[in-house]
Structure 1
Amino acid sequence: MKKALLLAIVFLSVSLFATSVSYDPQGLMFLSRPGASINVNVSLNKGMGSTYYGGESLGLSFSVDRSAYVAVLDIDPSGQIQVLFPNVYDQDNYLQGGRTYTLPTDKATTRYNLQVQSQRGRETIVVVASTSPLNFLGNVFSLFDRYPFPYLSQSINNLSVVIDPVFNTSWGLGYTYFYNSYVPFTVRTTINADRKDANVYVDGIFMGKSPVTTTLEAGPHTVYVYTERNLVYGPATINVQPGSSDFYFSLLPNYVYGYLEVTSIPDGQVYVDGQYAGDTPYKDFEKVGSHTVTVSKWGYHDSKQNVYINKDMVTSVSFTLTEKTEEEKKTDNIILFSIIGVLIAGVVIAVILGASD
């Protein structure tokens, strides 16, 4: 005789929302942290920013590109954080890389449904992944006997503290959101910056690299744009107006700075303290203090100088690179081809081992 499956319905409730969330959206941003090496994809069956009405099922899918421990968090407009996965019916949260999962997963002991209540507002879904167990879920598991889908925190402002141990591992985050019981008036919006591939956050959600074109609800939004070299704009409020809204931001350092100007003969690549900064002729912001500037070009000897950057002043430095001898170039080519050979061999071995699994 077949067993009857219990249908558990999880109601996603939200409060009144009018073009902005009531909490500080910076609580959703995790910037310039090491270890962000897991790609997380999360999607809704109707798409990000879609409208769901009371009684509808919320179809949620997500994937990671490498096997990891995963948590799915639901953040309501007041900033409360509920754990949708793992839950009392679906507790095994170690998921395979490269596979798309939906809730409930195929490991669930009971089928359940994420059903939307008829309450106007906007909710954000965050998917957290880590190669190590998510220790911040310890208290969540202990609550399963009373709450099938416990709350992680009553305030989003505590989120970075709660999940901080994740950032000591290889980790990743994914975001999506939906509107509940109303269709917002949206505007095609482009956010650009004077720096290529700057990271763009809107209302705390990572939207991609600049330029970003998306649709936003008309009204105020919080925007933050930054580069890995700590050039930023915001957090600041933009007002999205009917029609097409385009925003262009000039980024400035979030540190005390001067300017570094580098020229070289011939032109080459500029490295500041070992990090690639650009090509000569080069001029950009630099943090006040001592730095090592290196100019490199294939077929030439690297040239290095120590410089000191003064506040609000331009420090200029020039290089003349010395060409390598033919024998030195041959040696470099041998080393280069050897490295390429090792890399190719590694890829082949990985493919063979993957096929054998």
Structure 2
Amino acid sequence: MWDRAFNANALREYEPRLNRHALTLMSKLKERATRSSVRITDWVNFYSFDVMGDVGFNRSFDMMKKGKEDPVIKLLHESHAPISVFAHISWAMRLIALTPVGSGPLFEHIAWSAKVLEERKKVSNPMKYLVPGVTRFCLVTALHLILLQPPAKVPNTDMIISDTVAATLSFLLYELCKNLEIQAKLRTAINEIETKKAHLNVEDVTECAYLDGVINETLRLHPATPSGAQRETPPEGITLPNGTYIPGRINVWMPFYSLQRDPRYFEEPLAFMPERWTGERPGAIIDKRAYLPFSIGPYNCIGQKLAMMELRSVTANLVRSFEISFAEGEDGSTIENKTRDCFTIIVGKLDVKLTPRY
């Protein structure tokens, strides 16, 4: 059922909304481009959750309009904070869920999600959500259709609005500030796409190899789920290619952060090198199977195409509109050292200087 929310037709339906939100972000940043410092991590967070509010629930959090984080999103981040400590201890997570200390925000967020779903279930036709005569399909419509088919297991709606686009955009901008020559090369590639339009829409930036290279390299060095994925081995256990046997019903973690920085799989693994994805440095990827930013197999991220649409759109328009550099006194150490893995990433702050190019 989730496939219906992310198939080609649904993604095309989302494009006007993504274009509108990206245009709003550019407008808000242009208003602040005269300032010596812009906390860009806040603004990409506002953008990404406004998109998820629109696409995920057919309602807007209006964070870009207000210029501040919505209480529901703040609650979301607070609800995930304990996970960074206890997620690796299965019994500890069950224990914390039974105690008021630490689990309060989690239960408040679950209650809010349940309320939204109940409101959505009251819509007579789940395939239509009338907004000035427009038929709109959203992720909650898919969830609604699931709820209409008893017995149904209701997915955790945290998965709908837990957006990792903001984290990826934050680290992408951090890398472009560190590597100004790569930023300039990216700008040249983007300028070759379309010279007449003031704003590039989603469909304008689907075929830019260097743009995809910058995004892929960001996802490699800074995966949105750095601790990776947990899987339980089958009852009979598994035998690895090197002969190692892992007994059945054992939790196994795949640490994406470590895997994607391993010199056995990537040449110069700590270097930010978009060219490894464009064919300019073909030997720089030793084993592409180690690249797992959206996980793999039946548990891979079903929203990855939507995420890529957002990442391409915002990155292209940002680089086209501004020269982006570290603000005075900023060196990127906060985003590197203060980012926390709490199921979704809680990103450390990054302040930049936006120099207009328009």
Question: TM-score, normalized by length of structure 1?
Answer: 0.23
Which structure has more helix as a fraction of its residues? 2
- Structure number with larger C-alpha Rg: 1
